[in-house]
Amino acid sequence: MAKSPRNESGESVPTSFAETTPKAYTQSGHDFTLQAVMEMQRTLGEMSSKLDRVVADVKSHGDKLDTIRSQISFVKGGLWVLGALVAFAITGVTAYLRYVPR
């Protein structure tokens, strides 16, 4: 028996390729494809229901933001009116004190 050549680490290196043919893989039928389609359908159904939930949550958050926006607008309007009343009162008090005889 002939010795096979060895590489630097001492392992033997084959000098020829194997002479066997690989096994033929046959199609297993439509079962694999059908199963993959059914799994995709189930996954897409789950994603669809979760997406509907996200849309509902976003809509409720939008409604909450609209409510907060109207409340902030009301408070800002009140502050403007209050500021105008304070300015008017300061102006009135200043005018009164300026023209009051001493």
Give residue 101's pLDDT band: very low, low, confident or very high (50, 70, 90). Answer: confident
pLDDT of residue 2: 54
Place of tokens 């409604």: 63
Distance CA 89, CA 95 (A): 10
Distance CA 50, CA 52 (A): 5
Write phi, then psi, for 12 (nearest 5 degrees).
-80, 145
Q: Are 6 and 12 in contact (CB under 8 A)?
A: yes
Q: Model confidence over 48-63: pLDDT tens digits? A: 999 999 999 999 999 9
Distance CA 89, CA 82 (A): 10
The pair of structure tokens assigned to 70 is: 């109207």
- pTM, full prediction: 0.46
pLDDT of residue 27: 62
